[in-house]
Structures are given as C-alpha cells and as structure tokens.
C-alpha cells in the first residue's frame, strides 16, 4: 500500500514520497510527514545479518513506497560506496562502556553525508518519476555541515544546481574552507551577515514567495531543499539507528528486544527526530536524550513545554548546534497534537509572530520519550580532555556535548541501559577547539600544524576531506545582507543561463 505524506500545517495537502522530496517544503511552509509511521517488517534477528546497504533498503522502502525496488536499490548503491572510508559505513565504537556511532566517515566527515550522499539520487529519480522538465535548484541554509555535504552530493549532478547560504562568521574555519573551495559548475556559496536562523528564515521566505517561483519557472528553474526539512533527508537518517541496534546484537551479544538509550547532539532536531521515528517503528529504544549547547532552546522546551527563541544567540565551539529555531521540531509538534494540522499551524504562527509558543499539558505528556540536557563551553572542553586522557579516544565538540549530557542523564536517573551516542563529526573538522581542549600547549598553533598534531595524538590518518582543502583554491566569495538573499539567487541563476 502506498504511503502518502501530508503537510504539518494543512492536512488537505497530500503527496507521494517522490513529490514530497521534490517539493522539499509544503505549500504554506509546513513540513511533509508520513500519514502513519510504518513498522519494521522483518525481525531484528534478520536485520542483524545485513550490511548497511541491505538494511537501508529494508527501512527506506517502507517510507518511499512509490519508488520501485530497482530505483531505490540503485540510489542506495550509488550513495553508500567507496566515498566512505570504511566498508561498515557507520562503525559503532565502544569507549568506556558507551557506544559511539561514528557518522563521519563520508566525503565531508560529518553526519550530514549519511543523508546527503543519497538525496541527489532520490531527487533526480523523483524528477523523472514526476516528469519534471525544469532544472531543480537546491536552496539551503547551513550551520556548517549541511552546506558542504549537500554541495559534494549535488556537484555536477545533471539537471540540478545548488545554492548554499551560511552565516559568514558562524562556522569553523575548516567548515568555511570546505564550502568555499567546492568545485562544480552547478554549485554556489553565499555568506550572509547574520546567524544560521537568519539564513534559514531567509531560505524559507524564498520558498514561500510565489511570485519569485513563477518568475524562475519561466527561466526553467524550480526550487527544492536539501535541509533536514526535506523528507528525503530525514528517512535515510532513520537507517543508522536501526543499524546501530543490530550491530549491538551482532557484536555485543545483545538480545533482540533489549532496550537501549540514544543520545544525540541536537540543533535543528532532525537527527534526534530520526531516532524518534525509529522508536515508533518498533526499535526498542527507551530514552531519547537530547543534548544542547549553551543556546539551550530545546532544553528549556523539554523542561517547560514553552519554546522561546527570544534570547541571546551564543556562538559556541559546537557551531552546527548554534540554532534558535529548530525546524524539525515542527514534525514532533504535529505528532503530539494527534496529527492536528490546524493546531500545529497555530503554534508555528505564534513562533513566527511572537517568537514563542507553549504546548498543552496533554502534548507535554507526549514528551516522556525525551530527556533534555545542555552543556557549557567549559564542560564541552572538559569532556573532550577527560575522555581522551582516560581512553585515548578523541571526539569533536558536538559529540562531547552529547557525551556530557549523557553523563548528566546517568547521574540523574542511575539508568545503566546500553547507550548509543551519535558522533556527528570528525574531530578534524573542529581541530582547534578539540586540541586546545586537550592541552593549552596547542593554543596559537597554526591550523594545518594542529591537523598533524591531532593525527599523531589520536593515531588516525588525516581524512581526505582535510588533505584536499590544504591546497585548494577559494572559488566562492559572495557575501550579502539577509534581505538581499532572493536578489542574489536571481542574479546567480540569470548568470547561469548565459
């Protein structure tokens, strides 16, 4: 039976999976959600015998029901191949009794590769299925990792183009260098004067601008999204939580049905929402531990039931989580309302107009699956240092936020269940913050020298993604104000036509 998708803000808008992937965002700014969350159809014992690609098919086919078996398997094969530096795709590493799911072995050494390696193939397949003649332009905002991973995925993919907006002073130097050196005749990067939320709001406003859409359609373009608001980003992320569970069965002797906890460092809420969907599918997950940095908007939401973005924006050492508007939370809110799109729209309108909303007591009861915690800058650095000194394992700043919050959870609950921590980026992506956390002797050292020091310290090879940017030339230098984002898009596409 075909699984259809509805908008979180209008239950009457109903599309297929491929149409939802093509659109990215629903007509009135809502997000597409499945009419029902499907259940796993194979026993966990069977899934545990599969490799990553095989398991990906078994999970994703339940959501992408208008893709043929051949189409979906082809997308998976093209995505999860030699661009990952390990055959496992996502190794599960045991460190001091906790399991780290290393999601950073792809081309851009961050977890976004897990979904953005397959999204271009899902999108181009969707375009063919729906007889789209226009060139698809991916329009996306990034807090650091999505931009590079999306551009790497879409670079020179026929029939597509990609424009990435990022906060000019809100990403790490390596994240910025990765983006600005991206090759591809169909890739463009634009810095904005503002933060990630400004970039994300600007992109959403362009999507909602019907006049602009009509103008660009006459030029032969249509927009889609590579942010985690696109269901084609979210579905592939569900896979690796199921995979992690089956690796615990296969390599740690865990029995099927034994419950585990999952801890996720969270900014835009997509990665932990994927874990929530995995739980709803029947994966035996007890607690979803939501780890925030000092921007802590999600922590406060889980504590009070009020989501309030009216606060100081803090630039931290975990910049991919420096977010005050967690877009994917809207999907959870929709489910908490009992799939009431009118109520969900009312809350999202309040967020847009006042910067805050409060959920009902009944909805708040639905948050029982979650535990929220947050970590200060000092605690993040301390966690990196202590785990390295105790075990020799080096983690990035975002993973350290999750590790510290998991420690808070254990202390508060005395829960000893096996726990998987989503390790979302390589420490090489945030070399300065990581090395200075480990020892002050690295302070002031040059970035490239720090890379070599990290390699020696961690006894790991420097990733190809880092080697590549050492000598790469900067190819993108456009910067604009947020109110000029649409005019920059038009200028890029008009020039593209010449």
Q: How far apart are CA 206 and CA 405, in angstroms?
A: 36
The reply to whether 364 belongs to the active site is no
Helix (H) or strand (E) holding 28: none
Packing angle between helix 119-129 and helix 231-252, nearest 10 degrees? 130
Half-sphere exposure of 15 (CA within 13 A, CB side): 22
Backbone angles phi, psi at 306, to 5 degrees: -110, 130
Q: How far apart are CA 218 and CA 202, in angstroms?
A: 22
Residue keyed to tokens 């569970």: 245
Q: Is 96 helix (H, G, I), strand (E, B) or coil?
A: coil
Residues 6 or more apart in contact with residue 437 via CB below 8 angstroms: 317, 380, 381, 382, 384, 385, 397, 400
Report strand pairing: 32-34 vs 98-102: unpaired
- Catalytically annotated residue among 36, 61, 94, 112: 112
Contact (CB, 8 A) for 432 and 447: yes
DSSP letter string, 97-143: TEEEEE---STTSBTHHHHHTTHHHHHHHHHHHTT--SEEEEEEE-S
Q: How far apart are CA 172 and CA 177, in angstroms?
A: 9
Report strand pairing: 221-224 vs 260-265: unpaired
Contact (CB, 8 A) for 281 and 306: no
- Phi-psi bin for 254: left (phi > 0), alpha (psi -120 to 50), beta? beta
Q: How far apart are CA 160 and CA 138, in angstroms?
A: 7
Helix (H) or strand (E) holding 88: none
Catalytic residues: 112
């Amino acid at each position: 039976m075909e699984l259809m998708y509805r908008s979180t803000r209008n239950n009457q808008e109903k599309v297929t999976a491929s149409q939802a992937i093509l659109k990215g965002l629903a007509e009135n700014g809502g997000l597409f959600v499945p009419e029902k969350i499907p259940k796993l159809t194979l026993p966990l014992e069977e899934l545990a015998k599969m490799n990553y690609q095989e398991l990906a098919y078994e999970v994703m086919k339940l959501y992408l029901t208008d893709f043929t078996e051949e189409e979906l398997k082809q997308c998976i094969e093209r995505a999860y191949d030699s661009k990952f530096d390990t055959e496992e795709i996502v190794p599960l590493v045991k460190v001091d009794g906790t399991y780290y799911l290393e999601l950073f072995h792809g081309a851009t050494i961050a977890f976004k590769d897990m979904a953005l390696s397959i999204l271009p193939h899902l999108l181009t397949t969707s375009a063919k299925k729906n007889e789209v003649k226009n060139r698809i332009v991916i329009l996306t905002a990034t807090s650091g990792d999505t931009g590079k991973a999306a551009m790497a995925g879409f670079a020179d993919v026929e029939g597509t183009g990609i424009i990435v907006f990022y906060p000019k002073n809100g990403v790490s130097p390596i994240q910025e260098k990765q983006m600005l050196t991206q090759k591809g005749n169909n890739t463009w990067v634009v810095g904005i004067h503002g933060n990630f939320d400004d970039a994300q709001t600007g992109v959403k406003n362009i999507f909602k601008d019907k006049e602009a859409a009509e103008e660009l359609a006459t030029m032969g373009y249509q927009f889609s999204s590579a942010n985690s608001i696109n269901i084609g980003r979210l579905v592939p992320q569900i896979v690796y939580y199921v995979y992690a569970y089956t690796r615990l069965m296969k390599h740690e002797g865990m029995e099927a049905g034994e419950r585990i906890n999952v801890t996720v460092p969270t900014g835009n809420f997509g990665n932990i929402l994927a874990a929530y969907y995995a739980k709803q599918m029947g994966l035996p997950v007890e607690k979803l531990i939501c780890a925030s940095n000092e921007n802590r908007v999600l922590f406060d939401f889980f504590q009070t039931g009020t989501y309030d973005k009216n606060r100081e924006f803090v630039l931290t050492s975990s910049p991919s989580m420096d977010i005050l508007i967690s877009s994917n939370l809207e999907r959870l809110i929709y489910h908490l309302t009992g799939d009431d799109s009118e109520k969900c729209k009312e809350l999202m309108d309040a967020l847009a107009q006042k910067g805050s909303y409060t959920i009902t007591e009944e909805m708040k009861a639905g948050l029982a699956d979650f535990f929220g915690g947050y970590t200060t800058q000092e605690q993040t650095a301390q966690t990196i240092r202590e785990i390295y000194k105790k075990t020799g394992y080096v983690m990035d700043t975002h993973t350290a936020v999750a590790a510290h919050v998991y420690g808070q959870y254990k202390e508060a609950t005395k829960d000893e269940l096996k726990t998987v921590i989503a390790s979302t980026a390589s420490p090489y992506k945030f070399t300065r913050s990581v090395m200075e956390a480990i020892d002050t002797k690295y302070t002031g050292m040059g970035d490239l020298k720090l890379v070599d020091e990290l390699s020696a310290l961690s006894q790991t090879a420097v990733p190809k993604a880092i080697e590549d940017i050492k000598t790469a030339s900067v190819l993108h230098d456009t910067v604009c104000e947020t109110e000029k984002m649409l005019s920059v898009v038009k200028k890029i596409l008009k020039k593209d036509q010449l």
